[in-house]
Amino acid sequence: MKFDICSVGSALVDFTFSIDREYEKNLITYGIPKGSMTLIEKEDQEVLINELIKMGKTPDRACGGSGTNSIVAASLFGAKCHMTCIVSDDDHGRFYIEDLASNNISHTNAPIESKISSGRCLVMVSDDAERTMCTNLGINTEFSTSDLDVERIKASHYLFLEGYLVASPKGMEVCTKAIDASKESGTRVSISLSDPNIVNAFKNEIKTLLDMKCDLVFCNEDEALAYAETDDISKAFQTFKEISPNFLITQGSSGCIGFDGKNEFNIPGTKVDAIDSNGAGDMFAGAVLYCITSGSSLEKGAEFGCYAASKVVGNYGPRLIKDEYYKIKNNFF
């Protein structure tokens, strides 16, 4: 069986809350940087969730994880997709697997019986649409090379690696084995840098993966600046031209800039009233991967990615209802 995309990443269930400026002061007290992803112990995450619930807030629950969100978008736009990840045999894990199946994504790893729970991400959305994430990886810390479906990777046009994986030694081993499998089969490799904190803390690991094989890099402006160790985006752009033959740097409402191996391009953003930025980058990557595996150019994919991302920020949560993906695709093409 052939696939357009095989995604490798952490399986998480998102718990999304809206927070106001007053609660943002709590984030400072807890040492949680607004707008970034922070790894957190399960007990500390529970404290925050219970605190928000006691304030009368009700969370929206959805399957998440950066790679998951991207692969769901790609699948709903029409790509044939596979997801490689692990979950525990608990309520969250079963919910995650059922969600993959409902979005036409194949998955070969059965839920694992373990005392470690499935991964969960607390997402707090501020009034300015910025999202702050506190992630407990749970069973994802046990994700190892034995969990990889190498044959699915070899049978795919593109491998999509979630940069968050480099935060653990086992995750790094997973990434290197996945890239090695891609080399054997000619599968192209795309990597998302995921978060500025990840780039700052694990630059050497990311560089190792990029040096192994990378056909396409996804990152936002903050991640690009962090990797290039500069505050000048034009200098960061030149750095990435030396790293990968193709790359895209998103710039929020301003759109994105990119390079396809020959041409530089600048895609303007679409003006919208943003409610929640959570999932915008994931939607962008999924839309781009759908396009390029369907035969479109990277520049056209970036245009579609910006358009699709502008639709998800107008809603709470990283996903839209299924019919919306069909409408987005038909309205654009």
Rounded Cα distance between 226 and 257, Å, is 16
Q: How many CB atoms lie within 10 A of CB 10?
A: 28
Q: How many CB atoms lie within 10 A of CB 125?
A: 21
Task: Please check whether residue 27 lies inside any domain of the structure.
Answer: no
Cβ atoms 201, 33 nearer than 8 A: no
Residue 306 CA: distances (Å) to CA of 102, 204, 248, 333: 25, 30, 11, 14
Task: Please check whether residue 41 lies inside any domain of the structure.
Answer: no
Band of the pLDDT at 320, cuts 50, 70, 90? confident
Number of domains in the chain: 1
Structure tokens that stand for 3 in this block: 């696939």
Burial of residue 302, with CB atoms counted within 10 A of its CB: 0-12 exposed, 13-18 middle, 19 or more buried:
buried
Give the pLDDT score at 97: 93
CATH number of the domain to which 175 belongs: 3.40.1190.20
Q: What are phi and psi of 154, to 5 degrees?
A: -65, -25
Q: Please give the share of the chain, as a percent, with pLDDT higher than 90.
A: 76
Per-residue pLDDT tens for 198-255? 999 999 999 999 999 999 999 999 999 999 999 999 999 999 999 999 999 999 889 9
Task: Please check whether residue 31 lies inside any domain of the structure.
Answer: no
Task: Please check whether residue 232 lies inside any domain of the structure.
Answer: yes
Task: Please check whether residue 131 lies inside any domain of the structure.
Answer: no
Band of the pLDDT at 52, cuts 50, 70, 90? very high
Give the pLDDT score at 61: 83
Q: Please give the share of the chain, as a percent, with pLDDT higher than 70.
A: 97
Give the pLDDT score at 319: 75
Instruction: Please give the residue that has the higher pLDDT: either 64 or 45.
Output: 45
3-state secondary structure of 160: strand
Task: Please check whether residue 43 lies inside any domain of the structure.
Answer: no
Band of the pLDDT at 275, cuts 50, 70, 90? low
Which residues are paired to 126 by β-bridges? none
Cβ atoms 88, 54 nearer than 8 A: no
Task: Please check whether residue 178 lies inside any domain of the structure.
Answer: yes
Cβ atoms 45, 120 nearer than 8 A: yes
Rounded Cα distance between 147 and 142, Å, is 9
DSSP 13: E
Assess whether pLDDT exceeds 80 at residue 278: no
Band of the pLDDT at 181, cuts 50, 70, 90? very high
307: containing domain: 3-10+67-116+148-332
Give the pLDDT score at 38: 87
Residue 87 CA: distances (Å) to CA of 107, 175, 192: 11, 18, 22
Band of the pLDDT at 86, cuts 50, 70, 90? very high
Give the pLDDT score at 125: 87
Give the pLDDT score at 195: 87
pTM: 0.91
Assess whether pLDDT exceeds 60 at residue 276: no
Mean of pLDDT values over 142-164: 95
Give the pLDDT score at 318: 65
Mean of pLDDT values over 172-177: 97
Give the pLDDT score at 242: 94
Assess whether pLDDT exceeds 60 at residue 131: yes
H helices of the chain, in order, are 21-30, 42-54, 66-77, 91-102, 150-154, 169-185, 196-201, 203-212, 221-228, 233-241, 280-293, 298-312, 322-332
Assess whether pLDDT exceeds 90 at residue 277: no
Q: How many CB atoms lie within 10 A of CB 59?
A: 16
Band of the pLDDT at 129, cuts 50, 70, 90? confident
Cβ atoms 293, 4 nearer than 8 A: yes
Task: Please check whether residue 192 lies inside any domain of the structure.
Answer: yes
